[in-house]
A and B are shown apart, each in its own frame.
Chain A
Amino acid sequence: MIIRKINIALSVFIGTILILPSCIEKFTPTLDKIDTQNLLVVEGLITDEVGPFKVHLTNSGPVDQLYYAEPYLGADIHIIDDKGNSYQLIDKQDGWYETEDKHLEGIPGNTYTLNIITEDGIQYESMPVLMMDVPDIDSLYFVEVKKTRFENGLTHEDNWLNILVDAEDETGQIEYWKWDFEETWEVMIPTDSLRIQHGWDATIAYYTNENVNIDPEKKFCWVTMPSKTINIESTYRNPVNQIRKRVINSIGPGGDKLLIKYSIMVKQTSLSKDIYSFWERLQDVSEGSGSIYDRIPSQIFGNVFRCDGTGKALGYFSASSLRTKRIFINFYDHNIKTVSPYYTCLYLTEPNYLAPRIFFGTIDKGGEKITYKDEVYTMFMFCNDCRAYGTNVKPDFW
């Protein structure tokens, strides 16, 4: 892992070492038609948590076009286990397929297989996946570390907050680990009212002010974000299947997450060797910079195949028991520099006034055209309604 990171830096390094202006240019590669065809993307994880079994089907898109995950509709999906049960998944919305039974839970020790028949009759099947029992997260905690940054010819030392997990599998079964997390933090519009200054019109000799209160409903919110990095680890052939001080997330200075109160929930799952190497390769390819000292990227397919043997689907189908843990971090728990998300909103400057925008128009009044002007006070919704950023519904765990 360490080695790969160094390789990424190499090409830039060589350029700079030679004291040459290395140059980066945009270009448009011409792609083969066959390569830009859409492929089926499968995403499915069966856990031992109570709920429906869910699978998400989408289409891939050409690399050179704007992309959104276009849902793949009209497929017929079954999940079959090795105990002879078959569960049908129904197309709900946005490419999500769910079982009708909302109280299903996967059973560790069972083996699950995904079967898909698309609208045009093409059949896909996953490799059978064994659900393993994952141990609990022993501890989830945070540590402050110092990192050095180089800016304007000077070095700066910043405090960063690392969130770490410890876990251990005493049975020695779990060799491939994966963590996902969900962060939630509180945000607050840092003012109760906005002062609106009237009197812009030159005909009015004096200014008038008006205070507009911000609705308390729009003032306090909670933002929740899923993890956007791949956190996997292998303890394969380690003497003990032990995870110690594994950094799951790292929060740097200048953000708003730690401003008031922050919470992170880490979900720990296990992976099969296949799925582990699938994620590992995805990570490798997404971190690679295309440098000639990077591993040559390659096509990455998961464990879902076309039954006629002519191709593969992208994505994966996996099963694992799931263990979660949550911690809270208050602003007084750390020394990380934070910045309010509303820093850029105008009302933070003194005085908190809004300048009106003036619109001119004409009215036809009995054949006579009268020019008039109107003043409108506008503000970004983000600045006066925190619901533009998060939700004002306090989470249960808060």
Chain B
Amino acid sequence: MLRYVTIYMKKELCSILILLITTFCLDAQNLPVFITGSFQQMPLSSFIDETEQKYPVKFFYEEKSIEHILVTANFNETPLSRCLETIFEKRPLNFYISENNQVVIYQGLLLSGLFPGSKLNDEEEIETKERSPEKKVSREKLRQIQYKIINIGTPGKNNSGTATLSGYLKSYESGAPVIGGNVYTTETQKGASSDATGFYRIVLPAGNQVVHFTCMGMEPVTRNINMYSDGRLDIDMEVKINVLEEAVIFGQGEGAIGQMHIGMEKVDISNIRSVPALLGEPDIMKSILTMPGVQTVGEGTSGFNVRGGNTDQNLILIDQAPLYYPSHFFGNFSAINSEIIDNATLYKGSIPLKYGGRISSVFEINTIEGNHEKISGSAGISPISARINLDGPLFPDKSTFVTSFRSTYSNWLFSKIKVADLYNSRAGFYDGQVKLNLYINENNNLLVNFYNSKDKFQLHSDTTYNYSNTIGSLILKHKYNPDLKSNTSLICSLFNYEISNENSTNQSFSLTHNLANISFINDFEYFTDSRKKYIFGAALNFYSINPGERRVPGNSNITPVLTSNDHAMEYGIYAGTEYNVSGNLKIEGGIRLSGLISFDDGRKYIYAGSMPYAVDNIIDTLYKSKSSIGKTYLNPEWRVSMNYSTGRSSSVKLSYNKTAQYIQMLTNTTAISPTDTWKLSDIYLLPQTGHQLSAGYFRNFKRNTIEVSAEVYYKLINNIKEYKAGADLLLNDHIETEIINGKGKSYGLELSVEKRGGRIYGRIDYTYSRTLIRSVSEFKEELINDGEYFPANYDKPHNLYVLTNLKASRRFIISTSVSYSTGRPITYPVAKYQLGDQVFLQYSKYNQYRISDYFRTDLSVTLHGNLKKNQLTHSSLTFSLYNLTARKNAYSVYFKSEGGKFEAYKLSIFGTVIPTITYNIRF
């Protein structure tokens, strides 16, 4: 045993945590050891050797930590614990004695403060210490700890009846902090989650209880604790290798019950990889589309709609930085390599106070921290792309790096395929990220991140498309003291596109659109007493947007259009609290004051009063000086949520949310495309605001292996942007003439059943929802459908998603998914008429009809290579069948004239079974 530990020590494969060694024989008697002997200036190691020889005791320690310690003492039938106390007095060392007299010695500073006097106790006890020297234990031992009772704090020290348990959640494999892990107890229904450093803090009643630690993609952990007073408990969590391991520990749940926020969806990263994926590209964006309340206008399109919101109403954050166009290939693939995603959370109901600027949802994606011990990585190849990522320790000490790169080789494929449609076509993309996680000291951690993605393609013409996202960020996590923490970030996010034609002689042009967003955000968390946590902070967002300009070379016939950039400053100041009112009731609430200062730069049109904004009604053009304040907006955003436990395994949640949004994407096509432009609110374009009221009931069954939830919501959106018929949005410097403000209302019911554990994982989600929009204008001629409510493009009332994951054996996993949804609304041609010699179509009212319902079944089979632990690489082979029933789902519908008659056609791009083989390798 000792050798085992020592070997690890020599390799310096230390995890941050010390783990406790378990009993070999549970029936061993708990016999205290009494030491007798006189020691003069004896090195501690010799003392240990001697003691081990004489008594039934085993010691575990790191040699370095006990160097230079000399023992001078006289013991006479002194209990071992007291002996060690004497030896370690005034030394930064702590020890633990297990019931079969195994002694672990380790360094620690705070421990004596946290656990004074408890060393005398011969009961089992785990004391852990942040950043103390680590001993790696086997997985088996790690799992056995859950059967032990752990004493926290000192008996009799606390009379308040409650105490705070805090500590760090870390990955057993990499030592990286586990972010967003849940900590809760089923008895009290209290819960907390870990922050970006893995730190958690929870207030618990004194006494015996079971604490659960869970996190998406990690094996759940339980600890039996006996709470005396404030104390620390660090937890190692194992990565859930959902296909390889059968370990099921009952009594765990994902903890939606204890989770404060309603309408919060955590994406199970390991599930992304086992769910059948189109062309073998696991995709974070696709995976959230399967969640209740999330919809899209069609497969293979970019963007998603959350609870009736537009695609531009979602704030997509990658390592805290906003990403403006999150897709490659028009939405067929997400712009983020799923291999390096650590966790992802979608807030669709109650949005945390620290986030603002979008009204429908926040999708928070965090990439992995990086392996602290060794360089590791993975590589994969699919029909579309090849990818590789590497991560590992950066300096010997606690800093890490993560890099990833993914690129297509479709240009090469194109050259091999002789299809008329692909003539003169090219397409390619790449994305890459470099992230450094710099450990400065105990209290400061700096994250340096750079991300870039680029798409370039040509559609059998001379015109090339280019678009790219670039993100640079610096994030400092600082701890002022154990009660006050801050997160300060400086982020720069850029999006731009260029459409150009350089080959043709007199039709050359280059059309560009740029968005630059620089933000400075400072978030604070302050714990006052054990039941309250305050959060406050501020965010400043500076935007500079070029609405679009067309540059032309000298010999071109095309008119150049040059514009000046729009500038604005968006701000948000917030303060709120999380308050545990009682054991059953938790309330979180606060206010975010958000606003926009829009600057005028250059030309500004003035419209005749009491007339619609139209080109004909421009009565004056003002030329404003640079950066003069044009318009300011201020919106108080109240947000309240409440969680009330109605029993050991059920809870009721309520929330009200107000949100405001000052930037929008202008698009009047069904699906968004990278040529859509972003536009800031200004004097004419009012900011969008949303109000959402939601309620939910959550209940777990069968020892938390089955989770059932029901949520309802009602949402109102003001100033949703709708477009006049045939609106021209490109190169239009009076965009207000093309836009009508709308009012949106959305409501729905989301039901979800999830079964975890065992060989079968399953999920059934059903959503009923409606999203209706009404245009609002004082001028009747501007109204869409005469001002009546019409269904939004993404209004699909019924949605069903069923996922099953069967582990046939440890190396073999079969996964199937079924999706069904009502067809999206569409505007059909209904009549035809003739003008001159041409026949034209007259269309129905906006979105009056629907395309046929959508149904798809996918199947995938994953085969893992040899499971031996110590091999260099682990590989897996996935065979998937997309659209198993080969149903021809309508992608788009169009009409063609044939012999004087218009025929309706539907185009299905995935109208057949698509088989794919993907090979993945991990090292």
| Contacts from A to B (Cβ < 8 Å) | 2-3, 5-7, 9-29, 31-32, 35-36, 38-39, 41, 43, 58-69, 148, 150-151, 153, 155, 180, 226-230, 236, 238, 244-245, 273, 277, 280-282, 284-286, 288-300, 314-316
Contacts and interface: CB of A to CB of B under 8 A. Distances in A.
Contacts of A297: 827, 829, 841, 843
A66 B902 CA distance: 8
Interface centre among B279, B425, B669 (most CB of A within 10 A): B669
Nearest to B725: A298
Given A13-B421, A293-B330, 13 more contacts: A6-B461, A17-B410, A25-B911, A27-B852, A60-B833, A64-B904, A66-B899, A67-B901, A228-B837, A292-B671, A293-B671, A295-B727, A298-B726
Contacts of B355: none
Contacts of A64: 901-902, 904
Given A11-B891, A14-B329, A300 B668 contact: no
Contacts, number: 253
B829 A63 contact: yes
A43 B909 contact: no
B160 interface: no
A5 B460 CA distance: 11
B841 A63 contact: yes
A123 to B, nearest CB: 19
Contacts of B784: 298
Nearest to B504: A145
Given A21-B912, A23-B908, A62 B831 contact: yes
Given A32-B830, A291-B892, A299-B845, A26 B905 contact: yes
Given A6-B463, A14-B909, A15-B909, A29 B904 contact: yes
Interface stretch (B22-30, B191-199, B296-304): B296-304
Kindly name the residue among A2, A153, A289 whose own CB sees the greatest number of chain B CB atoms within 10 A: A2
B420, B670, B844, B848: most-surrounded residue (chain A CB, <10 A): B844
Interface stretch (B6-14, B107-115, B163-171, B411-419): B411-419
Contacts of A23: 888, 907-908, 911-912
A290 B902 contact: no
Interface string B300-316: 11000000000000000
A201 B668 CA distance: 71
Contacts of A150: 420, 423-424, 460
Contact of B833 (A39, A230, A296): A39
A195 to B, nearest CB: 36
B509 A2 contact: yes
A286 B829 CA distance: 11
Most chain B Cβ neighbours within 10 Å, of A6, A21, A38, A292: A292
Interface residues of B, number: 92
Given A36-B830, A281-B725, A296-B668, A65 B844 contact: no
B840 A35 contact: no
A10 B909 contact: no
A314 B425 CA distance: 40
Interface of B: 279, 297-298, 300-301, 329-330, 332, 383, 410, 413, 417-425, 427, 459-461, 463, 465, 499, 501, 506-507, 509, 511, 557, 559, 615-616, 668-671, 673, 675, 725-727, 730, 784, 793, 827-846, 848-849, 852, 888, 891-895, 899-912, 914
Given A2-B463, A26-B904, A63-B831, A290 B838 contact: no
Given A14-B332, A296-B846, A299-B845, A19 B827 contact: no
A6 B842 contact: no
Contacts of A155: 423
Contacts of A14: 300, 329-330, 332, 909
B844 A35 contact: yes
Contact of B914 (A16, A20, A280, A284): A20
11 contacts: A7-B669, A12-B907, A15-B907, A17-B422, A20-B910, A60-B842, A150-B460, A277-B726, A286-B841, A293-B670, A300-B726
B509 to A, nearest CB: 7
Contacts of B298: 292
A12 B418 CA distance: 15
B392 to A, nearest CB: 35
A294 B669 contact: yes
B499 A3 contact: yes
A236 B300 CA distance: 38
A6 B900 CA distance: 27
A132 B831 CA distance: 33
